[in-house]
Amino acid sequence: MFGTVRGMGTLRSALEELRGEDLASLGDAELVADLDELERTSRMIEAERSRRLAELEQRGARDGCLSLTAWLIARTGCRPRPRPGGR
């Protein structure tokens, strides 16, 4: 999925590198620092995901589905996350 889109291959490679780390060899401070960075990065990824979904919604790109939510479920099997502030 990620490897076919420009820039996404780098993101996927970084995640694969993290998955290969031996966590038992890290100290507590390193694990805490890593967790802090992962949390910040997770929020950035979520914001970028939301930005792309909003662009698709604006374009009406749904491949025959009646809503972007239905399209997302059909395509990825997951539901969109609620926007901050509700709605």
The domain of 53 spans 2-76
pLDDT digits (tens, 9 = 90+) for 3-53: 456 678 888 899 999 999 999 999 999 999 999 999 999 999 999 988 988
Number of H-type helices and E-type strands within the chain = 3, 0
Q: Is 87 a member of any domain? A: no
Which candidate, 51, 45, 36, places its Cα nearest to that of 15? 45
pLDDT digits (tens, 9 = 90+) for 44-82: 999 998 898 889 888 887 888 888 888 888 888 887 666
Q: Is 68 a member of any domain? A: yes
Q: Is 11 a member of any domain? A: yes
